[in-house]
Amino acid sequence: MTVRRLSILGVGLLGGSMGLAARRVWPACRVVGYGHRQSSLDRALALGAIDEAFTDAPRAVDGADLVVLCTPVGTFESLLTSIAPTLASGAIVTDVGSTKRSVVTAAERILPAGVRFVGSHPMSGSEKRGVEFSRADLFQGATCVVTPTPRTDPDALRDVEQFWRALGMNLRTLSPDDHDRLLADVSHLPHVLAAALVTMQDDSGLDVCGKGFIDATRIASGDGALWSDILIDNRANLRASVERVKQALDHAVTLIEADNPEALQAWLNSAARRRDALLERRAGGSETARNEAVSKGQGPVTPV
């Protein structure tokens, strides 16, 4: 797939990085950005992340062969409704949302025949937010999940996969339902746990917390508006994930109260081995995991 006119709806860190990367991969590609703040669009233009800017979404998708939704999950349905009449026949639409069932369902309902939708979740995080932190290599080496359904056009799926691969991503395929169920466990639940851990502390506890607490709660510093969209959208799976972690906690308490160090050690060591195996598998991927996998060779974490 050669993208001639790429429309990026929402030019923040992800959208801006996508523009920089696309212009590098396809120098002839025209990158169009939509945003509701002119100031962000001006920064994106100045950084060379986009060639044209619109504060009107329908105009931003006019003539585009690939449209990528990069706004928060909760805005997708109204955004799809607003751009549907303007999308060119044959255009492909995808997204970067952290939940997939709702956007895939909405797209299949709202978009006209001839416009082809493929759900995507490029998992390229960063501490930073805003177009000014865009990097052409943000997607490099990270995982992107695509979520086709029986109604997904196979050519569009292949083109979208090729698009993410061209940006350096490793592809995974899941159904929208499997994606949302698994992400509830590995991403949305950890976020809720981190927020719960922080809010339950009193000041005297925070005064004596160590590096372990700081790391375990890093994700709790995320943007509340962005995350409340995600958690509400995936609430059914998340409720099940919360129940499962409560059961795991009860299991741990049972082991601890049994005063049986061997059984508790076995459980703790199985967690440590499982996480270490995960780091090994990811060592070719993200920088964090690679660095940590290297330092893991020097031994496990000391309690503080």
Single residue of 135, 168, 178, 283 touching its own copies by CB under 8 A: 178
Cβ at position 26, least distance to its own copies in Å: 25
Among 102, 120, 124, 149, binds its own copies (CB under 8 A): 124
Residue 166 or 216: the one with the smaller Cβ distance to its own copies is: 216
Q: Where are the alpha helices (DSSP H) in the chain?
A: 13-25, 38-47, 57-61, 76-83, 101-110, 154-166, 176-183, 189-199, 203-206, 211-216, 224-233, 235-257, 261-282, 287-296
* CA 102 – CA 234 distance, rounded (Å): 9
Judging by beta carbons within 10 Å of its beta carbon (0-12, 13-18, 19+), is residue 264 exposed, middle or buried?
middle
Work out how close the CB of 83 gets to its own copies at its nearest, in angstroms, rounded to a whole number: 23
Q: Which of 24, 30, 59, 296 binds its own copies (CB under 8 A)?
A: 296
Residues 64-123 that bind its own copies (CB under 8 A): 74, 98, 123
Burial class (CB in 10 A: 0-12, 13-18, 19+), 80: buried
Eight-class DSSP state of 283: T
Please give the Cα distance from 269 to 274 (Å, whole number): 8
Classify 127 as helix, strand or coil. coil
Q: How far apart are CA 49 and CA 299, in angstroms?
A: 42
Around Cβ 87, how many Cβ atoms within 10 Å?
23
Smaller CB distance to its own copies: residue 53 or 220?
Answer: 220
What burial letters (b/e) apply to 248-257, b meaning 16+ CB within 10 Å? eeeeeeebee
Q: Is residue 151 a contact point for its own copies (CB under 8 A)? A: no
Q: Which amino acid is at 172?
A: R
Interacting residues with its own copies between 187 and 216 (CB under 8 A): 187, 189-201, 204-216
Q: Please choose, out of 19-27, 36-44, 106-114, 256-264, the segment that lies near its own copies by the rule CB under 8 A.
A: 256-264
Give me the least distance between CB of 177 and its own copies, in Å please: 13
Is 301 a binding residue for its own copies by CB under 8 A? The answer is yes
Question: Least CB distance from residue 139 to its own copies, whole Å?
Answer: 11
Q: With respect to its own copies, which residue has the nearer C-beta, 59 or 282?
A: 282
Residues 45-74, interacting with its own copies (CB under 8 A)? 74
Residue 4 vs 281, nearer CB to its own copies: 281
- Taking CB under 8 A as the criterion, the residue among 226, 280, 283, 284 binding its own copies is 226
Map the footprint of its own copies across residues 20-49, applying CB under 8 A. none
Nearer to its own copies, 109 or 273 (CB): 273
Residue 89 or 302 having the CB closest to its own copies: 302
Q: Give least dist CB 196 to its own copies, A.
A: 4
Q: Which residues contact 15 (CB under 8 A, 6 or more apart)?
A: 8, 9, 33, 44, 49, 68, 70, 96, 131
Report whether 111 contacts 85 (CB < 8 A).
no
Sole binder of its own copies in the list 224, 280, 283, 284 (CB under 8 A): 224
Write down the least CB distance from residue 22 to its own copies, Å.
19
Collapse the DSSP code of 53 into the 3-class scheme (helix H, G, I; strand E, B; otherwise coil) and give the result. Answer: strand
